[in-house]
Amino acid sequence: MKIAWIGTGVMGKPMASHLSAAGYQITAFNRTFEKAKALEPHIKAVETIKECVKDADFVFSIVGYPSDVEETYKEVMKHAKKGAILVDMTTSSPTLAIKLYEDAWKLGLRMLDAPVTGGDIGAINATLSIMVGGDKEVFETVLPLLKVMGKTITYMGKAGSGMHAKLANQTVIAGNIIGITEALVYAKVKGLDLEAMLGVITGGSANSWQAQYNGAKMINKDYTPGFFVKHYLKDLKLVIEEKKDLKLAGVEYACKAYQILSDHGFQESGTQSIIEYYLRNMM
């Protein structure tokens, strides 16, 4: 069984390495060739998508933006062998995922959308949560491979459903982050001890993963990225694009805030830097 891996960045590198360590034969492509090359000798690096996918039974990809996904799969579909299963793990557009699924089907290929959560730590520790859309039987074929890379693998439904689930997950986080930030800004203005405040928040019904992970960073103005503003903004824009006339005030506000932060040089900061948006009164 041969596996093609496209995208060996901060997420793709450890994910492909887990498959390789589990004994699978991997051929990798990355736009910046050196990053793929660095995975040799365990993983074979090649300089074109064609070389990467032509003999593969499975093609996995995790690249940057929906435009990268589109460009990648234009090449993949030209060169993949009949019957191959394509799995895009990028957080990308559900509409694009559905289109690619249909294109693949017409070419005798199968496709899943399978974005992940858990960040680089989750990728390194193989504890990712993976949300999958596409045909159930294709999902079941790929499941053993996904289990090598992640801990919680959830089948969400037809093509596009994996992407939709990931976007819904990011929508929850928007609300969580806004709530924590507004509370800390309010507490600061009122002269409260912010460490004590965070203790109250994480000690009861206001507790969240985000408060535990980002709360202290917000207080200390530590904007070291766990998750980049530029990537989160991409995700939020996808929600806005997909939600159509559905009114989701929280996610709309978060998207606006992160756009403004991004315009002010915070693209490479962590999502917790949204507290600057409030403190600097950027709205």
Residue for token pair 């507290």: 275
Which pair of tokens denotes residue 215? 């709360």
Tell me how long the chain is: 283
Contact, 208 vs 180, CB < 8 A?
A: yes
Using the contact rule CB under 8 A, the part of the chain among 35-43, 59-67, 70-78, 159-167 near its own copies is 159-167
Instruction: Tell me if 211 contacts its own copies by CB under 8 A.
Output: yes
Catalytic residue chosen out of the listed positions 13, 35, 166, 234: 166
Which residue, 80 or 187, has its beta carbon nearer to its own copies? Answer: 187
Which residue, 83 or 191, has its beta carbon nearer to its own copies? Answer: 191
DSSP reduced 3-state for 7: coil
Q: Which residues contact 224 (CB under 8 A, 6 or more apart)?
A: 217, 270
Q: Which amino acid is at 187?
A: A
Q: How far is the CB of 107 from its own copies (least distance, A)?
A: 25
Question: Site size for its own copies, by CB under 8 A?
Answer: 70
Terminal-to-terminal C-alpha distance of the chain? 54
Instruction: Tell me if 219 contacts its own copies by CB under 8 A.
Output: no
Instruction: Tell me if 114 contacts its own copies by CB under 8 A.
Output: no
Q: How far is the CB of 92 from its own copies (least distance, A)?
A: 15
**CA angle, 11 then 270 then 219, to 5°:** 140
Contact, 230 vs 82, CB < 8 A?
A: no
Q: How far is the CB of 104 from its own copies (least distance, A)?
A: 20
Is residue 166 among the annotated active site residues? Answer: yes
Binding pattern for the stretch 169-208 against its own copies, x by CB under 8 A and - elsewhere? xxxxxxxxxxxxxxxxxxx-xxxxx--xx-xxx-xxxxxx
Which pair of tokens denotes residue 175? 């609300």
Instruction: Tell me if 26 contacts its own copies by CB under 8 A.
Output: no
Q: Which residues contact 73 (CB under 8 A, 6 or more apart)?
A: 61, 86, 88, 100, 103
Give the footprint of its own copies on residues 224-283 (CB under 8 A).
239, 242-243, 246-251, 253, 278, 281, 283
Q: How far is the CB of 166 from its own copies (least distance, A)?
A: 8
Residue for token pair 């690096």: 45
Q: How far is the CB of 259 from its own copies (least distance, A)?
A: 14
Instruction: Tell me if 117 contacts its own copies by CB under 8 A.
Output: yes
Q: Which residues contact 248 (CB under 8 A, 6 or more apart)?
A: 171, 239
Residue numbers of the site for its own copies (CB under 8 A)?
94, 117-119, 129, 131, 152, 154-158, 160-161, 164-165, 167-187, 189-193, 196-197, 199-201, 203-211, 213, 239, 242-243, 246-251, 253, 278, 281, 283
- Catalytic positions are 166
